[in-house]
Structures are given as C-alpha cells and as structure tokens.
Amino acid sequence: MTPDGKTTAKARGAPEVTLTGLGKTYRGASRPTFADLSLICPAGRITVIVGPSGCGKTTLLRCVCGLESTSAGSIRFGEREVTTVDAERRGVAMVFQNYALYPDKTVAGNIGFPLRMARLPKAEIGRRVAAAARLVRIEDYLERRPAELSGGQRQRVGIARAIVRGPDVLMMDEPLSNLDTKLRAEMRAELGALQRQIGATTIYVTHDQTEALTLADHLVVMRGGVIEQEGNPEDVFLRPRNTFVADFMGRMNLIEGTSGEGRLTTEEGDEAKLTGYPAGHRVVLGFRPEEVTLGSAVEGGLTVTAPIGRRELLGTEVLVTLRLGERPLRVRVPVGTPLGEDITISVPPKHLHFFGEDGQRIEFAV
C-alpha cells in the first residue's frame, strides 16, 4: 500500500473527519433528514452517534461513507475533501449490522476481497488475510462459507474484512445489534480494544446507550436530525443538556413542577420535599433510578414519600415504581430491602438535575 510499508492507520496518522453544514433531503421527502449539521470526529478515536431509531444517525453514516449523496455542506477527511467522491474511491471501510458478507465466497475470500479490488499480489493478500483473521480470532474458519458460521463468527468476518486494508476511516452501523446479549458484551470489549490497536478514526452508530457509553471517546446524541448534545461520554451522562438526553441516556425520572419554600409542587398538586433551591421556579427535576437513597434526606436535596406500584426483580436489585400522584418514578433498591405500602426515598443535591420549561438544563448555584 504505502511505499514505506506502513499499513495501519495508526502508523500513518488517521485523519480527523469534519462535517460542515451537512444536509440531506431524500428525493420526494417534505422534510430534510438532517440540515446544517456540523460535527468533528477526532482523529484516531471512536465517535459514537446514538439516538432513537429514525433520528437520522444511519443516514448520516451513509453520507459520510458515500453510499448516500448529500444535499448540502461538506465532508472532509483531514485535508481531503470527499463530499463528491464515489463510495468506492473514498477508502472508507464499514461493518454492517447484518454482516453483508458475500454468500458465495469463503471467509478468506470475503476478507481478501477489498485487497483483490486494490490489485494486491496474491501472496500479500494471503498474508494480510491471515493477519486480519488472527486479530478477530477466526483463523480456523478461513475455508468455510458465511452460511456455515454463527452470527458472532459472521460479524468477526465482517470486521476482519473492514480492517484488512488498514483503513483510515472506519464505519460501524449497529455492528452488534444482531447478536445475543452475552456475545454483544464480549464483542463490545473486543471492538474497543481492536479499534485502539488499529487506530482508525471510527464512527460508530448505535441505539444502545450502554454500547455508546462504554465505547465512545466522543459521544454524539441525536434526535430528529439534530445533535442534542456531544462531548466526552462522562460529561454527557453526568450533565445532560436537556430532558431528551437525560431520558435517553440513563432513563432519568423527570418531575415537572414549581419550586416553593422547601418543596416542589407538581402540576397535579402533589408535593415532595425539596430543600436548598430558590423558590418560584417552574422546573423539570430529574434523577436516575440508581442514584436514590432510602429514607429522608439529611443534607438537603429531594425527599419523596409515595405508595409503591410495581416491583420488578433485576437480579441483585429490585426496580420499584412509586406513584407520586399519577406520576410513576422508578428507583432501584437492593434485593431484600423491606418494602411496605409506602416508601420514602431521597436524592442528594449532586444527583439532582434541573431543566427549564423549554427542557434545557438549568444550573442553580447551591
């Protein structure tokens, strides 16, 4: 490939992927899938785009790799402008949700196909196929056909085919969504390690928040064609910018109401104890089911006493649904916690999130 024999993105220095003012409107569609979208995917890192189905994340990915044309804006890989470059010349590799293997070719034939297209000598292809297969641990199956492999093995072939060229830019479109839960967790860890090893700038699309948080170096939350929040995954999780992100990343409980002296009154007139915050604000208050303590608050924060609705055993914890008036609130408590008719829970100030009526985050100086 390169004259100096450097075949990994790491050795060459993978490019930053820059999207500027990108727009896409499908022919005949009344609304754009996304418009004026700008995003910088840091070089050599994993950018995870997460969002509910139909948010435009997959379309965005397909535009970046050239399978869809864009209606506006530009795409650059480092200094290289690729907006109008054909998919087959863009040099992007992709891992597909449904594997997209060539059914008539053996595993070796599948992995070696991009190299054959690049007209590499046979011996070189053989060497690189073996190396890629070893990396994803399918070296024992090189002569099988895709139909003879399990789902996990097929996706390993899909990954090997994507990395065999040593691509600078790597796309992953929900690569683990067709696998069962246990395998998914395993492959997730492997994918992360593999990406660090090859160092390609990776764009990873998923609807699974666990995948997004564990894999992302840079996390992008999308809804309805708009980037709701982006940044370091920890920041996104700990400081969601609005109620959508709060709900999507970590299923926050959200209570709309008005703050008063030492309390929060919901629209239906139910009350919870809330101390340490200014009165007279209409707010949406949020907290995660994992971040509650049993009993009343000691140093300010929120205290709710409410009847128990449903209980679901999750394993070491029980997910309890309380009813504050008509409003369900989910909290996780350890298995074996004595539960009566009513329960009192509290949330310390550091775990409370406030949003305005428009859904945007509010910071109170406490």
Partner 1 sequence: MTSRSTSPFAPGQIAIHLALAAGAVFMLLPFWLMIRAALTPEAEIFSGNMLTLGTVTLDNFRRVFAEVPIIRYYLNGIFVVVAIFLGQIVICVPAAYALARLHFAGRELSLWIVLGALMIPYQVTAIPVYVILAQFGLIDTRSALILPFVANAFGVFLLRQFFLAIPGSVFEAARLDGAGAFHMLFSVVLPMARPALVTFGIFSFVSHWNDYFWPSFVLRSDAAATIPFGIVRFLDAELGSDYGPQMAAATLAVLPLLAGFLLAQRQFINGIAMSAGQVE
> Are the C-beta atoms of residues 50 and 62 closer than 8 Å to each other?
no
Instruction: State the residue for tokens 């310390």.
Output: 348
Residue 268 engages partner 1 in binding (rule: CB under 8 A): no
Residue 1 engages partner 1 in binding (rule: CB under 8 A): no
Shortest distance, position 362 Cβ to partner 1, whole Å: 44
Give the DSSP per-residue string, 258-308.
EEETTEEEETTS-EEEEESS-SS-EEEEEE-GGG-EES--SSSEEEEEEEE
Binding residue (CB under 8 A) for partner 1 from 103, 280, 334, 336: 103
Binding residue (CB under 8 A) for partner 1 from 67, 72, 213, 254: 67
Q: Report residue 211 as tokens.
A: 């995948």
Site string for partner 1, 303-342 (x = CB under 8 A): ----------------------------------------
Binding residue (CB under 8 A) for partner 1 from 21, 38, 81, 117: 117
Residue 106 engages partner 1 in binding (rule: CB under 8 A): no
Site string for partner 1, 150-189 (x = CB under 8 A): -----------x----------------------------
Binding residue (CB under 8 A) for partner 1 from 6, 31, 80, 116: 116
Binding residue (CB under 8 A) for partner 1 from 18, 20, 83, 98: 98
Q: What is the spatial distance between Cα 56 and Cα 363, in angstroms, rounded to a whole number?
A: 30
Residue 134 engages partner 1 in binding (rule: CB under 8 A): no
- For partner 1 (CB under 8 A), the number of binding residues is 26
Q: Radius of gyration (Cα) for the chain, nearest Å?
A: 25
Q: Is 357 exposed, middle or buried (0-12, 13-18, 19+ CB in 10 A)?
A: exposed
Angstrom CA distances, 87 to 71, 200, 348, stand at 16, 18, 51
C-beta closer to partner 1: residue 132 or 284: 132
Angstrom CA distances, 82 to 18, 41, 85, 201, 291, stand at 10, 15, 5, 15, 45
Q: Which residues within the stretch 217-256 sit at the binding site for partner 1 (CB under 8 A)?
A: none
Amino acid symbol at 75: I
The SS3 call for residue 88 is helix
Shortest distance, position 114 Cβ to partner 1, whole Å: 4
Give me the residues that bind partner 1 (CB under 8 A), please: 65-67, 86-90, 92-94, 96-98, 100-105, 113-114, 116-118, 161
